Amino acid sequence: MLLARTRAIQRLFASSARSGRCLSTSQSATRTRWSRGTLLRAGALSSIVGCSALYYVAKPVYADAEAGSSASKSDETRKPSLSGLVRSYLVFTACSFPTIVDWSPAIISTCLSVPVVKDFTEAVLRRTFFSQFVGGDTAEDVLPLLTDLRNQNKGALFAYSVEVDEKEAAGVAKAGGSGSGETNSEPSFMRNVNEMIHSIDVAADFEDGLAGRNELDIGRKTWVAVKLTALLPDTNALIKLSSILLDNRTPNKQIAFPGIPSPSDLTVLHGKSTSDSRLSEADVKDLKQLHENLIRICTRAKKRGVRIIVDAEHSWYQPAIDAYTLSLMRTFNKLPSSTKASRTFGLTTTARADTEPGVQPLVYATFQAYLRRAYPYLLQSIADAQAGNYALGVKLVRGAYHTQEISSHHQQSGGKSLSISPEAEPPVYLQKSDTDFCYNECVRLLISRVREDVVASQRKSSNSPPTLGLLFGSHNVDSCNLVLDELVRNGLAEVKDGIIHVPETVAERVTIAQLYGMRDSLTNSLVEKTRCGVPLVMKYVPYGGLAEVMPYLSRRAIENKTVLGGSDGASAERKQAWEEIRKRVFG
């Protein structure tokens, strides 16, 4: 019965793909007959049919598979349940076809706008895409998953995955800060701030409950990700600030747009410099409040021993994001040898690292390898951290906005683009091979610096905190293997009987991560080929209500379309799930 249903789903998606290909390859004269409204209605109809099939298959399988979820795990990675495999197969089958991915936001929006099918559509989305890529509705809902991951020696990068649509941000601000249209005295961005602080407490309580806190907070691998655009009422203020920073900074021909941040960047928010006509009084107020909220978040994180990862976003936000992140690192990542007061955001703070070292680095910046500035910017950041006596936290990713960056740059002359780059070339590499090369070169550079840090720490004392922390976010097998190879080559790990043994002192400095619901086979492989007393591998686990995370789900599919369609993407994930289903059902 299961096989017959699964084949029916295969035929359904295959039919959708064929129709999509026919549409994309037909002559322009034929395409003109299809208006956007017609396509939306057709998409909505096909989604209803598709959702019915998905729901028909997924619902009984969940019930049948629950008994197997308590299987013995011992030291090997627990196998996914049969229901999870079927869900993965269905989801990645849909993601394998670019036409479905491209039209998914319009299809879903149409279905959710029709009262008759709204509840049904939400139920199907919850059983499929939501369950595949999201950890739960609330932070507490994710706790069983965190426990399950830790039992497999995997950590978690916890993320309240609410996102603000920059096209609506200005309207939200005028409406009093309620992004959902709810009549609530607390603005939506402040609810986001408070929820992120709450997620820090949940993460800390989880870690405290595992083994208790120790002097250096070793092994606390439940971290929290922060997205700045969700923490203020009008994201356009970040774009304006980015433009001003570009004008005020000293040009550096060695580092392409978005350039490099300066410790003095945010003085623009204080004193006479705020007279810049591009920033309204409301903008300045919002940007100052963003600082205050980031200080609140990082202060709580320092107290609770939870690392904070500041996510990168589109390049038109990045100069401002870099400025905030640098200031946070120079304050909260201060190393014990210095008690000098640091002036940031117009406020004077004194690092307490001598008496309360806590986890280090506490704050991580995200470096996007697809940006042409990536490698020289990384070199400059390492030098600035050494000169400023603070620990550098690096989350290295390839980048998730390539298509938008290219199109926005090309549209810049038309006046409708968000791009603020003053350069003729786009800020991102045009070829994926260039991004891959840059990413791998950054890996080599960073791990060589970890070796230097470990050696220097051993010379000082066993209590010397790390001066460099790395999080390699990658779904690329070659890049993940390169991280392990470089650890061995630099003497930071040892191979015994084909297994790579990584000391805890190294695992405190180096972590590899994949998104929850994606590349599980890669994550499991990394765990199986390594041995470490603390998690070396983690999953990025978003959470939030279905309506809140819908932008994340849509963005994740569209941004990763080229990846999902690659040899290691959705097609491979679908095949792996099907092979495992076949083994479970037929032996």
Domain identity same for 427 and 562: no
Domain identity same for 431 and 567: no
Q: Is residue 72 part of a domain?
A: no
DSSP string computed for 197-219: HHHHHHHHHHHHHHH---TT-TT
Which helix H or strand E contains 392, and what residues bound it? Answer: strand 392-397
Phi, psi of 525 (to 5 degrees): -65, -40
Q: How would residue 246 be classed by pLDDT, with cut points 50, 70 and 90?
A: very high
Inter-residue contact 345 to 269 (CB < 8 Å): yes
Which of these ranges, 15-29, 174-188, 291-305, 526-540, has the smallest mean pLDDT? Answer: 15-29
Arithmetic mean of pLDDT, 172-185:
44
Domain identity same for 566 and 429: no
205 by Cβ neighbours in 10 Å (0-12 / 13-18 / 19+) ranks as middle
Nearest residue to 226 (alpha-carbon basis) of 164, 292, 159, 165 = 159
Inter-residue contact 347 to 225 (CB < 8 Å): no
Q: Using one digit for the tens of pLDDT, what is the confidence trace for 423-433? A: 999 999 999 99
Q: Using one digit for the tens of pLDDT, what is the confidence trace for 499-525? A: 999 999 999 999 999 999 988 999 999
Domain identity same for 586 and 504: no
Question: 512: which strand partners?
Answer: 472, 537
Whole-number pLDDT of residue 321: 98
Instruction: Quote the CA–CA distance of 149 and 139 in Å, as a whole number.
Output: 15
The CA-CA-CA angle for residues 132, 51, 58, to 5°, reads 50
Domain identity same for 463 and 474: yes
Arithmetic mean of pLDDT, 334-356:
50
Instruction: Quote the CA–CA distance of 297 and 288 in Å, as a whole number.
Output: 14
Q: Is residue 501 part of a domain?
A: yes
Whether the predicted pLDDT of 3 surpasses 70? no
Regarding predicted confidence, which is higher, 154 or 587? 154
Nearest residue to 439 (alpha-carbon basis) of 398, 401, 477 = 398
Q: Is residue 92 part of a domain?
A: yes
**Range 381-402 burial, b when 16+ CB lie within 10 A, else e:** bbebbeebbbbbbbbbbbbbbb
Q: What percent of the chain is predicted at pLDDT more than 90? A: 52
Instruction: Quote the CA–CA distance of 262 and 249 in Å, as a whole number.
Output: 8
Can you give the CATH number for the domain in which 312 is found? Answer: 3.20.20.220
Instruction: Quote the CA–CA distance of 190 and 197 in Å, as a whole number.
Output: 11
- Indicate the number of domains in the chain: 2
The CA-CA-CA angle for residues 530, 534, 535, to 5°, reads 65
Q: Is residue 90 part of a domain?
A: yes
Which of these ranges, 243-252, 311-320, 334-343, 482-491, has the smallest mean pLDDT? Answer: 334-343
Domain identity same for 391 and 248: yes
Domain identity same for 481 and 526: yes
Q: Is residue 279 part of a domain?
A: yes
60 by Cβ neighbours in 10 Å (0-12 / 13-18 / 19+) ranks as middle
Inter-residue contact 323 to 237 (CB < 8 Å): no
Domain identity same for 297 and 278: yes
Whole-number pLDDT of residue 43: 46
Task: Find where tokens 């250096």 sit.
Answer: 216
Domain identity same for 29 and 45: yes
Q: Using one digit for the tens of pLDDT, what is the confidence trace for 548-571? A: 888 777 766 665 555 555 556 677
Range of the domain at 39: 1-67+78-134+549-587
Q: Using one digit for the tens of pLDDT, what is the confidence trace for 373-423? A: 999 999 999 999 999 999 999 999 999 888 889 999 988 866 678 999 999
Q: Is residue 477 part of a domain?
A: yes
Whether the predicted pLDDT of 149 surpasses 60? yes
Whether the predicted pLDDT of 353 surpasses 80? no
Q: Using one digit for the tens of pLDDT, what is the confidence trace for 152-175? A: 999 999 999 886 554 454 344 443
Whole-number pLDDT of residue 2: 40
Whole-number pLDDT of residue 556: 65
Q: Give residue 375's Cα distance to chain centre.
A: 20
| Number of neighbours of residue 228 by Cβ within 10 angstroms | 21
Domain boundary among 509, 526, 544: 544
Arithmetic mean of pLDDT, 80-101:
82
Query: Looking at the chain, how many residues does it have?
Result: 587
Inter-residue contact 219 to 305 (CB < 8 Å): no
Cis peptide before 466 (omega within 30 of 0): no
Whole-number pLDDT of residue 100: 76
Whole-number pLDDT of residue 273: 53
Nearest residue to 443 (alpha-carbon basis) of 375, 381, 526, 500 = 375
CA distances to 131, 420, 545, 571 from 163, in Å: 19, 21, 12, 28
Whether the predicted pLDDT of 89 surpasses 60? yes
Average pLDDT value over all residues in the chain: 80
Regarding predicted confidence, which is higher, 23 or 174? 174
Domain identity same for 150 and 259: yes
Q: Using one digit for the tens of pLDDT, what is the confidence trace for 63-74? A: 333 333 333 444
Domain identity same for 562 and 496: no
Regarding predicted confidence, which is higher, 274 or 176? 274
Q: Is residue 73 part of a domain?
A: no
Q: Which residues have a Cβ under 8 Å from the Cβ of 485 and sit 6 or more positions away?
A: none
Predicted TM-score (pTM) of this structure: 0.82
Instruction: Quote the CA–CA distance of 361 and 509 in Å, as a whole number.
Output: 9
Domain identity same for 248 and 273: yes
Beta strands in 295-335 (DSSP E): 308-310
Q: Using one digit for the tens of pLDDT, what is the confidence trace for 439-486? A: 999 999 999 999 999 999 888 766 688 999 999 999 999 999 999 999
Q: How would residue 584 be classed by pLDDT, with cut points 50, 70 and 90?
A: confident
Which of these ranges, 127-131, 244-248, 256-260, 521-525, has the smallest mean pLDDT? Answer: 127-131
Instruction: Quote the CA–CA distance of 66 and 79 in Å, as a whole number.
Output: 13
Whether the predicted pLDDT of 58 surpasses 70? no
SS3 278: coil
Structure tokens at 384: 């600035």
Q: How would residue 54 be classed by pLDDT, with cut points 50, 70 and 90?
A: very low
